[in-house]
Amino acid sequence: MITRLSDDYTIGVVRHSGDEPVVKEVAFARNPTIALTDGVTPIYQLGASPQLRWLITPIANQYSHQRWVRPLFNLLLQLSVKRNLIKISQYYDVIHGVYTGMTASIRIAQKIAKRQGKPFILTPLVHIDDPQKKAARSLRQLFLDSDRLIAMTSLEKNG
């Protein structure tokens, strides 16, 4: 898909560290932000900023065990990625986020797109069996705030 789109558009990919055999929060905390390529497509792998790595790493290690650390982790994640996302997004006309569970970084990308007057497209890669669950309610706002939604289930499609 990227190859076909890159004929008409400038494509860049931003991702979190996802190739490690650890939970995504720990992978994010351990890794720096780096620029990679896939052919001619730049891939920006976001990691914790060096200034916050010493603080976010022990919090990330507790993320799945201690619910009280999650808001603090999300705040540090936002601080870490915001500057990089602003800098990267200036080269592109559309911002497309793929939601895999890290709401904080998707919210930042969504806000940056809005601030820069660019459309935000969301692909949620989560499946919610009950629209009344708390996670479903919080994701509903994420869906509504997106300019376009690539729906995976009827819940995303129908809002």
SS3 157: helix
pLDDT number for residue 115:
94
Closest to 16 (Cα-Cα) out of 32, 39, 40, 2: 32
The domain segmentation of the chain, as residue ranges, is 2-158
Whether 116 has a pLDDT exceeding 90, the answer reads yes
Percent of the chain scoring above 90 in pLDDT: 5
Of 145 and 7, which is predicted with more confidence?
Answer: 145
**Helices assigned H by DSSP within the chain:** 2-6, 24-30, 50-62, 70-89, 103-115, 134-144, 154-158
- The number of residues making up the chain comes to 159
Per-residue tokens: 151? 């729906």
Closest to 86 (Cα-Cα) out of 95, 75, 97: 95
Percent of the chain scoring above 70 in pLDDT: 76
Residue position matching structure tokens 């792998």: 45
pLDDT number for residue 103:
66
Interatomic CA distance for residues 63 and 70, integer angstroms: 6
The model carries a pTM of 0.72
